[in-house]
Chains A and B, each alone.
Chain A
Amino acid sequence: MPHMDRRSLLKAGSCMTAAAILRHGGSHAQAATPTLTLYNGQHEKTTAALADAFTGATGIQIAIRKGSSSQLANQIIEEGDASPADVFYSEETPPLAALAKRALLSRLDKETLGQVPAAYAAGDGTWVCASLRSRVVAYNKAMVEEATLPESVLGFADPAWHDRVAYVPTSGAFLQQVVAIELMKGRDAALAWLRGLKAHGRLYPTNGAAMKAVEAGEIATALINNYYWFSIAQEVGEDNMASALFYYRNRDPGGLVTATAAGVLKSSRNQDAAQKFVAFMVSAGGQQAIVDSNAEYPVRPGIESFFPLEPFEDLNPPPVGPSDIGDAAGALTLVREAGLA
């Protein structure tokens, strides 16, 4: 009788479900052995390289949880004192500043902070930068001449650039650029710039999408971070690139240097191991692992990248650092006032 078969099928099915749930419960219990939990917003490959090097040097295992930096920060805020995270590695500094503001981060060891120039650590010592990147203009070589690019990034808000510039208001680095403009040129100038971009620029959801659009000839220019160009160049070969990067070397906010950073959670029950990991990030070995896997600048002097990066000494960036930027809350008010968020 077919119904008999169905009944035994049901029984087998429910047994399998129960077994699957038990197995999942089991794997969670295993995670209780002392392993560092890292909430990672940085590019996966970079963090994996860093974690491997750290495990090799110390024997401490690392469990990596991935997500976007801001979403992970929001998750940590929601988790509060009960956060399973030991270390938070963010693709940008404002999420860490937001956690520091809510007193969720431990002070880092003095020695760790001493490894990098003072500008690349939080004033209160709760987080330290791990690598640097530069804001740039990516432009399609067939669509625009480098010489015709505006002398300041503020020039992109001009009607002359109508439908010819891609921007990404959801990107943390964009917000940081807004802070830099506000600090250097004043609030009105920053607001006018955002309104101009809203009227004339083309909004993209991510830096990667904006870069891809320039490379594909969908749009002439994009305001992005330098390493997005290098990841496509690595994918298709540098000589085949239809786009190039333009660096502002005149202390313009268009050439702002931003940073990735990491901090130890105050709620972590593995403070020692967590501090060790952050110390490793800024050590020579950790820095080498980072710059080998992504086209970024080291925070520690004397580390060489094999990517054909613009020499850091030649960047001449604006005098705005991660501590000046903080959690970029002011920029968000501006972005909202301009109707972009």
Chain B
Amino acid sequence: MGLPLVYVGLRAWQAGPAGIAAELLRERTLMLLANTVTLAVGVTAGACVIGVAVAWCVERSDLPGRRWWRIAASLPLAMPAFVASYAWSSVDVALQSLGGAIFVLTIVVYPLVYLPVGAALRGIDPAFEDVARSLGKGPWRTFFTVVLPQAWPALGAGALLVLTHMMAEFGALSLLRVQTFTTAIFQSYELQFDSASAALQSAVLMALCLPPAWGEMRLRRRLHVARAGRGSARRPAPAALGRLVAPAVAGFGLLLALSLGVPFAMLAYWLAVGTSAGSDLGELVPSIAGSLGLALPGAAIVVALALPLVFASVRHPGPLSRLADRLPYVVHGLPGIVVALALVFLSIRYARPLYQTALLLFLAYAMLFLPIAQSALRASIELVPPKLEELARGLGRKPFAAFTAVTLPNILPGVGAALALMVLEVMRELTATLMLVPTGVTTLATEVWSHSNDGEFAAAAPFAVLLVLVSALPVYVFTRRSTEVYDLQ
């Protein structure tokens, strides 16, 4: 996990102390810093507001058709940011700006906040709210002083994920003509050979990820969500929306139209007008096979690696397990190309037979996506009482046997959710895949990239549509599983 950090350090050091100072003090670095921070904070704030509002509506209000909305509101997660950005960038030039990027990215990433917060709201015992209301607090004050604090860990984890996601985002920003550290890193690799400035920019990017990762950890430590003996909480009565029903339903409709409708309409338009449409349909089957062949085992491996990390940090909190738990979040802010080049550098020198095998690519996926698996697993692991394992140990099971016999079956919904989310992330990953995939293997994402790169938008469209459709399945599974985590209790 620390390997990309070492690589970035080594490469950056090539510039020498004077070179490092000169690079960091350039006017351009300041511009990149301002853009990166504005974008990350803007999208995170937007995603939190939309995510919490959506979660509350589907979990705690009498919104008509909320069972249906609960799934539908998670579907924008299936829309890769670069597809949405591509569509939106051709709707209006004004969207090709920092403000436009914040808008487009917010409406596609908010499910990363909505899903954990929604799951948390489901699990909250309404007794606390009853107490607050009986003490004379209004519904809004109750929400902000009683309900929201209980959802803090979920909100914090979701927000951190969005924040680090934005630091590493490339494709969407490039289409929307916004320059951040990540786009600058890609630019460096386009213009320069064995570049120290790209490494320096990566180092700054990682440094930017430190404060939020640390802050989220603090937030988590001050809160204790587990309760000794949950009792049996009753299902909360849904809050009546009253006159707000119509605006709420309209809002949901608008949200889906913006995040899914517009991109799909754009893809359909390209399919209709372009002549390169269908020129390459024979490639569809191998690239679906390539996508699934990498995504399924890749997801399984990442989740298998994430399990012990989360388990250790929940069961045996200490400086070491905390570091192991946090380090992936810092690396998560690194763009795929940096992680991929680090793995090229290291495997060529120390593990040559692994180079350009699927195994090395899985390692790259682990480095890129571990935190996402970690946050998906955490909720379900935190809810398993340690007493269950102690009981199994008391009955003579070895630690590992106790884990597989007692803990694992109990956290399966969480594992299912993490797997689904991983499949989703791996399927749309592009840069590390291009660099590390076994030669000749294509995926839906690499086909979308190479066709749209060559200007064959119509030829790219079926791959993009398939990518979205295939992604919808893991999103559905993820949504079902993450609600199940709490239903089981």
Determine whether the beta carbon of A17 is less than 8 Å from that of B192: no
A-B contact pairs, 29 of them (CB 8 A): A9-B412, A17-B297, A24-B297, A24-B359, A25-B358, A27-B441, A37-B439, A43-B454, A64-B440, A71-B189, A74-B193, A74-B194, A79-B344, A84-B355, A102-B193, A169-B187, A170-B190, A172-B190, A205-B183, A206-B453, A208-B454, A218-B93, A231-B455, A231-B456, A232-B455, A235-B275, A235-B455, A339-B26, A341-B28
Whole-angstrom distance between the Cβ of B286 and the nearest chain A Cβ: 12
Considering only residues 44-88 of chain A, those with a C-beta below 8 Å from chain B are 44-45, 63-68, 70-71, 73-75, 77-80, 82, 84
A103 at the interface (CB under 8 A from B): no
Determine whether the beta carbon of A64 is less than 8 Å from that of B175: no
Across-interface contacts of B150 in A (CB, < 8 A): none
Considering only residues 405-425 of chain B, those with a C-beta below 8 Å from chain A are 405, 408-409, 412
* A 322-337 binary contact with B (CB < 8 Å = 1; else 0): 0000010000100100
Across-interface contacts of A203 in B (CB, < 8 A): 177, 179
Determine whether the beta carbon of B455 is less than 8 Å from that of A208: yes
B258 at the interface (CB under 8 A from A): no
Query: A78 and B455 in contact (CB under 8 A), knowing A21-B359, A24-B438?
Result: no
**Using a CB–CB distance below 8 Å, which chain B residues touch chain A?**
26-28, 90, 93, 174-175, 177, 179, 183-184, 186-195, 273-276, 293, 296-297, 300-301, 337, 341, 344-345, 348, 352, 355-359, 404-405, 408-409, 412, 434-435, 438-441, 446, 450-458
Q: Give B86's nearest chain A residue, CB to CB.
A: A209
Whole-angstrom distance between the Cβ of A57 and the nearest chain B Cβ: 21
Determine whether the beta carbon of A74 is less than 8 Å from that of B409: no
A222 at the interface (CB under 8 A from B): no
Determine whether the beta carbon of B435 is less than 8 Å from that of A67: yes
* A 4-44 binary contact with B (CB < 8 Å = 1; else 0): 00110110011011001101110110010000010000011
Query: A70 and B190 in contact (CB under 8 A), knowing A79-B348, A231-B456?
Result: yes
Q: Give B304's nearest chain A residue, CB to CB.
A: A17
Determine whether the beta carbon of A71 is less than 8 Å from that of B297: no
Interface size on A, residues (CB 8 A): 70
Query: A231 and B341 in contact (CB under 8 A), knowing A21-B358, A64-B440, A95-B193?
Result: no
A281 at the interface (CB under 8 A from B): no
A110 at the interface (CB under 8 A from B): no
Across-interface contacts of A9 in B (CB, < 8 A): 412
Determine whether the beta carbon of B446 is less than 8 Å from that of A332: no
Across-interface contacts of B454 in A (CB, < 8 A): 43-45, 208, 231
A147 at the interface (CB under 8 A from B): no
Determine whether the beta carbon of B175 is less than 8 Å from that of A205: yes
Across-interface contacts of A7 in B (CB, < 8 A): 404-405, 408-409
A234 at the interface (CB under 8 A from B): yes
**Using a CB–CB distance below 8 Å, which chain A residues touch chain B?**
3, 6-7, 9-10, 13-14, 16-17, 20-21, 23-25, 27-28, 31, 37, 43-45, 63-68, 70-71, 73-75, 77-80, 82, 84, 95, 98, 102, 169-170, 172, 175, 202-206, 208-209, 211-213, 216, 218-219, 228, 231-232, 234-237, 327, 332, 335, 339, 341
Determine whether the beta carbon of A64 is less than 8 Å from that of B455: no
**Cα distance, A280 to B452, chains bound together (Å):** 28
Whole-angstrom distance between the Cβ of A168 and the nearest chain B Cβ: 10
Whole-angstrom distance between the Cβ of B444 and the nearest chain A Cβ: 14
Determine whether the beta carbon of A82 is less than 8 Å from that of B352: yes
**Cα distance, A228 to B434, chains bound together (Å):** 23
Whole-angstrom distance between the Cβ of A317 and the nearest chain B Cβ: 23
Determine whether the beta carbon of B297 is less than 8 Å from that of A28: no
Query: A28 and B446 in contact (CB under 8 A), knowing A71-B189, A74-B194?
Result: no
Whole-angstrom distance between the Cβ of B33 and the nearest chain A Cβ: 14
Determine whether the beta carbon of B457 is less than 8 Å from that of A175: no
Across-interface contacts of B300 in A (CB, < 8 A): 13-14, 17, 20
**Cα distance, A67 to B355, chains bound together (Å):** 17
Ranked 6 nearest A-B pairs via Cβ: A24-B358, A231-B455, A20-B297, A205-B174, A17-B300, A98-B193
Whole-angstrom distance between the Cβ of B310 and the nearest chain A Cβ: 17
**Cα distance, A28 to B90, chains bound together (Å):** 41
Whole-angstrom distance between the Cβ of B343 and the nearest chain A Cβ: 10
**Cα distance, A236 to B356, chains bound together (Å):** 38
Across-interface contacts of A102 in B (CB, < 8 A): 193
Determine whether the beta carbon of B193 is less than 8 Å from that of A327: yes
Complex partner residue of A75 from B27, B358, B408, B435, CB under 8 angstroms: B435
- With A21-B358, A71-B189 known, 18 other A-B pairs at CB within 8 A are A6-B409, A20-B296, A23-B293, A24-B297, A27-B358, A45-B454, A73-B193, A78-B348, A82-B355, A203-B177, A205-B183, A206-B453, A212-B455, A231-B454, A236-B274, A339-B27, A341-B28, A341-B188
**Cα distance, A196 to B176, chains bound together (Å):** 22
> In the complex, which of the residues A169, A204, A205 has the most CB atoms of chain B within 10 Å of its own CB atom?
A205
> In the complex, which of the residues A64, A74, A228 has the most CB atoms of chain B within 10 Å of its own CB atom?
A74
Determine whether the beta carbon of B439 is less than 8 Å from that of A31: yes
**Cα distance, A77 to B301, chains bound together (Å):** 30
Complex partner residue of B191 from A16, A43, A84, A332, CB under 8 angstroms: A332
**Cα distance, A70 to B409, chains bound together (Å):** 48
Determine whether the beta carbon of B274 is less than 8 Å from that of A10: no
**Cα distance, A74 to B446, chains bound together (Å):** 19
Across-interface contacts of B174 in A (CB, < 8 A): 205-206
**Cα distance, A44 to B453, chains bound together (Å):** 10
Q: Give A44's nearest chain B residue, CB to CB.
A: B450
Q: Give A211's nearest chain B residue, CB to CB.
A: B455
Determine whether the beta carbon of B341 is less than 8 Å from that of A74: yes
Whole-angstrom distance between the Cβ of A226 and the nearest chain B Cβ: 13
**Cα distance, A66 to B345, chains bound together (Å):** 19
**Cα distance, A169 to B190, chains bound together (Å):** 10
Complex partner residue of B356 from A84, A205, A327, CB under 8 angstroms: A84
Q: Give B451's nearest chain A residue, CB to CB.
A: A44
Q: Give A234's nearest chain B residue, CB to CB.
A: B275
Q: Give A28's nearest chain B residue, CB to CB.
A: B357
Whole-angstrom distance between the Cβ of A180 and the nearest chain B Cβ: 16
Whole-angstrom distance between the Cβ of B406 and the nearest chain A Cβ: 9
**Cα distance, A207 to B418, chains bound together (Å):** 39
**Cα distance, A219 to B345, chains bound together (Å):** 42
Whole-angstrom distance between the Cβ of A127 and the nearest chain B Cβ: 15
**Cα distance, A206 to B96, chains bound together (Å):** 14
Whole-angstrom distance between the Cβ of B487 and the nearest chain A Cβ: 13
Across-interface contacts of A64 in B (CB, < 8 A): 439-440
Query: A235 and B450 in contact (CB under 8 A), knowing A70-B190, A75-B344?
Result: no
